[in-house]
Amino acid sequence: MKNILLILVLVIGKLVPASAQSTWKLNTEKDGIKVYTCAVPESKIKAVKVEGTFNATPAQLVDLIMDVNTAADWIYHTKSSVLIKQVSATELYYYSEVNLPWPTANRDFVAHLIVSQNPETKTVTIAGPVVTGFVAPKQGVVRITDATGKWLITPTGNDQVKVEYAIHLDPGGSLPSWLVNMFAAEGPIKIFKGIKVQLQKRADKNSVLASAEK
């Protein structure tokens, strides 16, 4: 189970315990993306944090993350992601199922995404605690009921943002070591690379639409 949360990193979140924030250790660095891990008191599972910089505005990142129906296009091994309830432009509930290789059971969850912004620093926080209800448990799928994490999107100037995502969760059940190793090596990097691809696609689409309107 060690580092097993890396399998599901970036898919859900609330707030990582404050005790973890000063003890992050660099685990992997590739293509400008850094992955850190850290021990969490009274837990056998480590927390993980991923950092990267993107050519985008905070609003563009928020738009991508809150567009939950397209999460399967960029979040590693997401089988499905469906909006359940749109409360406002900055708050929603959604359901997602994470696809894991046979014979391991898939995981799923319902999350409540809430966006807030610091008026002074302009840093955007997206919290997404898992919640109960909304969707009945599915046979053969393990429901995640314990997860803590958050997105931090900080403008750095010249339409660039630093993005951090930290998460600690209990995926439930048991998972084989080969699966843990596979996702630990690939998951965080591929997800942040997926963000870059999606941002570029959206920028290209907006450029085409703008040209068509002239």
d(CA 74, CA 99): 13
Q: Which residue has the higher pLDDT, 111 or 21?
A: 111
**Could you give the CA distance from residue 56 to residue 121 in angstroms, rounded to a whole number?**
17
pTM of this structure: 0.83
Residue 126 clears pLDDT 80, i.e. is over it: yes
pLDDT tens, 46-66? 778 899 999 999 999 999 999
Residue-wise pLDDT for 52-109, tens only, equals 999 999 999 999 999 999 999 998 889 999 999 999 999 999 999 999 888 889 999 9
pLDDT per residue as tens digits for the range 135-172: 999 999 999 888 776 899 999 988 899 999 887 776 76
pLDDT of res. 12: 41
User: Of 195, 150, 129, which Cα lies nearest the Cα of 48?
Assistant: 150
Q: Is the pLDDT of residue 16 over 70?
A: no
